[in-house]
Structure 1
Amino acid sequence: MTHELPLSKRILAINESATLKVDAKAKALKAAGRPIISYGAGEPDFPTPANIVDAARTALDDPANFRYSPAAGLPALREAIAAKTLRDSGLTVDPAQIVVTNGGKQAVYQAFAALVGEGDEVLVPGPYWTTYPEAIRLAGGVPVEVFAGADQSYKVTVEQLEAARTERTRVVLFVSPSNPTGAVYSPEETRAIAEWAVAHDLWILTDEIYQNLTYDGVVATSIASVIPEAQANTVLVNGVAKTYAMTGWRVGWLIGPQRVAKAVANLQSHLTSNVSNISQRAAVEALNGPQEAVAQMREAFDRRRRLIVDELRKIPGFAVPVPEGAFYVYPDVRGVLGHTWHGVTPQTTLELAELLLEKADVAVVPGEAFGPSGYLRLSYALGDEALLEGVHRLQRFFAEG
Structure 2
Amino acid sequence: MEIYCDAERIFISRDYRVEGISKKEFIETHKENVVWQSAKLSETPRKLTNTRYHLVGAGGAKLVRMDRSNGETVEIDAGNEVKDIASDLRDVFFVTAEGIYRVPAERFAEPEIVRLPVSDILDKPVKSVDVLGNFLFVIAGNFLYKLSTEGEKLSEKALADGLKVLSDYDGPVAITEKEVIYFTEDMEVLSNGSYEGVFIKAEHGAYNTFLLSDKTFSVFGKTGKRYAHVEAAHYSSFTEGLNHIYFYDEEEKSLSLAGKKDLLGDNFQEIDLATLVGIVMGSLMLAEREGAEVLVREEKGFIDTHINGELVPVEKIILRLSKYFPEVFYLYKNPGYYEQIDSFAERFDLFKVEGRDIRLNTDLLERLIEMHSSFKTFKEDIAKGIIDLAVK
Same fold (TM over 0.5): no
Larger relative contact order (Cα-Cα within 8 Å, sequence gap ≥ 6): 1
Structure with the higher strand share, 1 or 2: 2
Q: Of Structure 1 and Structure 2, which has the larger fraction of its residues in helix?
A: 1
